[in-house]
Amino acid sequence: MRFHAKITAAAMSVSALTMGFFTAAVPAASAVVHKSNPRPAGEVAAAWTRTTTPSSAPIRECYASSCDVVIRTDPGSWVYWSHYAYNSSGNRWYYVRYTAGNGTPHDFYGWVYCGNVTAPC
């Protein structure tokens, strides 16, 4: 493949990926949202909202207490939530971002039960 053809192919690939990344299908307004099938984050919250963990809270891989723990927060830590979902038991869980690290911060993402944060249950 000649250089010009390679550059053109690469540009077209980036363009296609960009268009796919920045466009999303939005469900019809009449679509039913079930508690076990929460809406995408873009429809629920436009930004991350800060809340606090009064005690050490487990951030889990999914929104159930049986799910694996990603990380535990320190008491009094700030976490940021973008949306929430209800599990099959009817409990509200927040999808959160938690920044932790000694020297080099790292973001951890997962689900935290509403009773473990100061955001409303």
Is 46 within the bounds of a domain? yes
Q: Is residue 60 part of a domain?
A: yes
Q: What is the pLDDT of residues 52-105, one digit of tens each?
A: 999 999 999 999 999 999 999 999 999 999 999 999 999 999 999 999 988 889
Domain span at residue 102 reads 41-116
Q: Is residue 57 part of a domain?
A: yes
Domain count, the chain: 1
Domain presence at residue 65:
yes
- What radius of gyration, in Å, describes the C-alpha atoms of the chain? 19
Is 101 a member of any domain? yes
In a domain? residue 4: no
Question: Quick check: is 34 in a domain?
Answer: no
pLDDT in tens, 22-37: 444 444 444 444 444 4
Which CATH number characterizes residue 48's domain? Answer: 2.30.30
